[in-house]
Amino acid sequence: MRRIQSVVPMVMLAAVALLALIVGPSVLRTYAVAEQSARIQLARQELSQDDILRRIDRAVAAIADSVTPSVVHIETGGRPNGGNGSSGAGWVYDTEGHIVTNSHVVRGARQVSVEFSDGVIVGGEVIGTDVYTDIAVVRVGRRDGLFPVTRSATRLPRVGERVFAFGSPFGFKFSMSEGIVSGLGREAPGSSIPGGYTNYIQTDAAVNPGNSGGPLINTDGHVIGMNVAIATARSIGATPEDSGGDSAGISFAIPLGTIEPIVHQLVTYGEVSRGFMGISFAGRGGPLDRVMDSAGAVYTGVRVERVVDGGPSDEAGIQPGDVVVAIEGSPVLSVEALSTLISSGRPGEQIDVRVWREGQIRDITVTLAPIEPEVLAARFAQPTMLQMGMIVQETGEGVVVARIFEGFPAALGGLRVGDRIERINGKRVLGWNEFFVLAADEGLLTGETVEFSVISAEGESRQVRVTLRP
């Protein structure tokens, strides 16, 4: 009997353990399900009571509703050099039928068609392009149903702010993507033309081929810039159409502070004349100065190294050592930003320049002079010779080809050592500086076919056509 009594507790213990194994998981599952159900109910209750996400959705939808009618889809016909047509986006600038887009979207196109969000398609006329900033203006005959996008008058973009990019990525017209401002005053290698002006807004909004020329919008529904370039694993700063890749979360936009004065010149004069302040400062990539005024406010800017005697800045009272912190209210966030802001003004115009001097902020009005050819030539000489594969020099007889590199466009086009370059597209070359400025003006660096009139060392006259592939 004792042996049987000693076995009973063990049997009972085993039975309890077996029951626990059978029932335990079921109980645990029931508890877990109940807990999950409670969490779901609580989350649903919070969502029903707090409509913050719905309010954000409504605000974003309102931006789409207010901006989309101002966005256009652009298609272009074949180009003179045999290239195919292209497509991109643009936006209504005013009620007079002016559409703003990128120069690379429409430059050299024989036909331009503009489609509005209501389905109306009209022909467009390119009234002016500026390859240096990649800005163009197209005029349409339509007057009814034009809704100019509201321009941001006072609110400057800040890093971290939410932005929206509009356009036609991969042909999906009137699309909208969202991101934030990732950086300001960016210089993107490969954007615009070599030596062109940048000063870009960097965002992480999705921008792809077809977004070029579309507006970049802030949370007020106001335009603050225009999509122009992206960075991919293959390239940094190429136009979306030429990048060879898709969006990698880095895109660039031309700021409104650059767009407005350029568009004004294109609409008013049909061309852009660049202003000159008559100061010298560190070149591209040069250092910025951080300065503090007497009230403790901190500014970034570019220090003036030299002032041209008798030039616009000298006459206005700017001195060497001054730190330029803003032009026309736009902050100077890089050396390239300063160059872009100055050059966007037209000779004869007055611009407001804010400088720091000895702990004080001063506002000075400067009347711009015409930019000197050597200033522009300094930007374009090296990239032009590198891409063409040749070296030119100025002699007593004119601009002469000093060296040719085989396999490059200059050699492939038929230029030879000793050739004296007389004209570019029929326009006379007056000197070394004018050669580079004229070549850029005629679209050489943006892929246009350019005709050089040359006289060989033996006195033979001939025409040579050269095309660079950007």
Catalytic residue positions, numbered: 104, 134, 212
R_g of the chain, CA atoms, integer Å: 31
Q: With contact defined as beta carbons under 8 Å apart, do 240 and 342 qualify?
A: no
Give the list of residues 6+ apart from residue 229 with CB closer than 8 angstroms, or none: 188, 190, 191, 192, 200, 237, 238, 239, 240, 243, 251, 252
Give the list of residues 6+ apart from residue 104 with CB closer than 8 angstroms, or none: 86, 134, 212, 239, 241, 242, 446
Rounded Cα gap, residues 323 and 292, in angstroms: 11
Look up residue 31 and give its amino acid: Y
Q: With contact defined as beta carbons under 8 Å apart, do 163 and 218 qualify?
A: yes
Name the DSSP class of 412. Answer: H
Return the closest-CA partner of residue 260 out of 87, 83, 100. Answer: 100
- Percentages of the chain per state (helix, strand, coil), in multiples of 5: 30, 35, 40
Structure tokens at 85: 């047509």
Give the list of residues 6+ apart from residue 90 with CB closer than 8 angstroms, or none: 71, 72, 74, 99, 100, 101, 105, 114, 138, 213, 214
Look at the alpha carbons of 316, 378, 282, 156 in this order and tell me if their dihedral is positive or negative: positive
